[in-house]
Amino acid sequence: MRTGVGGFQTVLVLGGGSEIAAALLDRLRRDGRVTAILAGRSPVAESADTVFVPFDALDRASHPAFVEDVFSRHGDIDLVVAAVGVLGDQERDEVDAGSAVAVIETNFVGLVSVLIPIAERMRRQGHGTIVVLSSVAAERPRRANFVYGASKAGLDAFAQGLGDALVGAGVHVLVVRPGFVRTKMTAGRAAAPFAVTPDAVADAIAGGLRSGAHTIWVPPVLRGVMAVMRHLPRSIFRMIRA
């Protein structure tokens, strides 16, 4: 259960290796003890308050049992962080259907598959928060990474709708739209304008959890930037490389 001072007792991270999720857990632990359930493909070190659970976003048949197991073993889950995501290889994805579909299946379909039973369990427990790591790329897909953009656009739309569907059930969905984040996923790429660190994203998420926001942009200036970008003529938008 969440505590009276806003603390989260039990947190499930989908994509247990996520640097943003790790930075967020650090922040949550400043407010009190947190049991973290890290779900992912590669095992992570366990400790008194960290457990690892195998989870593969692509193995959709396993998702119902995974959710059932986590909730029955750990009781109430106060916060779920959906941090599963791959960037893909745009050049290859443009010509190789299998490779493009893998990006969509990981970032979008896999999360739909696991978030639906999670939302159902949270509805039953009567409380909970789901943080969905979307991207500014979701707001308007760019020429330079439209496969990734399409996957995030799908996820973003799904998460917004899920949040609306859960209003009144005590369950809250926070959609996070970061710009370029310097992580291992983006290592070796030239940073886009307004690039941020995982710590900055974690700070923003912690702030959004406190304020009860439903959508946040990191850095916040991207909200305005994207509002303009969305209305640029295609012929101009197409030329943006960053």
Partner 1 sequence: MIDAERARVTLGAGVSLDSLVDRLLPHGLFVRVSPGTRYVSVGGAIAADIHGKNHHVDGAFCKHVDSLDLLTPTGDVLTVAKDSDVFWATAGGMGLTGVVLRATLDLERVETAWMVVDTERASNLDDALARFVDRDDAYRFSVAWIDCLARGRNLGRSVLMRGNHARRADLPSSTPPLVSPPRLKLRTPPWVPGGLVNRWSITAFNEAYYRRAPRDKRGRLESLDRYLYPLDSISDWNRLYGRQGFLQYQFVVPIGEEDALRAILERVSSAGCPAFLAVLKRFGAEQGLISFPMPGWTLALDVPAALPGLGPLLDALDLIVAESGGRVYLAKDSRLRPELLEQMYPKLDEWREIQARLDPEGRMQSDLARRLSLVRRPA
Taking the C-alpha atoms of residue 123 and residue 199, their distance in angstroms, rounded to an integer, is: 30
Question: Among residues 7 and 117, whose Cβ is nearest to partner 1?
Answer: 7
Question: Among residues 124 and 189, whose Cβ is nearest to partner 1?
Answer: 124
Among 44, 50, 76, 185, binds partner 1 (CB under 8 A): 76
Q: Is 3 one of the binding residues for partner 1 (CB under 8 A)?
A: yes
Question: Among residues 4 and 188, whose Cβ is nearest to partner 1?
Answer: 4
Q: Is 135 one of the binding residues for partner 1 (CB under 8 A)?
A: no
Q: Is 69 one of the binding residues for partner 1 (CB under 8 A)?
A: no
Question: Among residues 76 and 89, whose Cβ is nearest to partner 1?
Answer: 76
156 is catalytic: no
Residues 4-63 that bind partner 1 (CB under 8 A): 4-7, 9, 30-33
Cα–Cα distance list, 230 to 68, 105, 215, 224 (Å): 40, 25, 17, 10
Q: Which one from 148, 158, 180, 217 is the annotated catalytic residue? A: 148
Taking the C-alpha atoms of residue 223 and residue 76, their distance in angstroms, rounded to an integer, is: 34
Compute how many residues bind partner 1; rule: CB under 8 A.
13
Task: For the CB of residue 74, give the shortest distance to partner 1 in the complex, in Å.
Answer: 11
What residues contact residue 176 under an 8 Å CB cut-off, 6+ apart? 131, 132, 133, 134, 201, 204, 205, 208, 215, 216, 218
Question: Among residues 161 and 170, whose Cβ is nearest to partner 1?
Answer: 170
Task: For the CB of residue 217, give the shortest distance to partner 1 in the complex, in Å.
Answer: 24
Task: For the CB of residue 11, give the shortest distance to partner 1 in the complex, in Å.
Answer: 15
Q: Which part of the chain contacts partner 1 (CB under 8 A), choosing from 3-11, 91-99, 104-112, 190-198?
A: 3-11
Among 43, 54, 75, 224, binds partner 1 (CB under 8 A): 75
Task: For the CB of residue 50, give the shortest distance to partner 1 in the complex, in Å.
Answer: 16
**Which amino acids are annotated catalytic?**
148
Which chain residues interact with partner 1 by CB under 8 A? 1, 3-7, 9, 30-33, 75-76
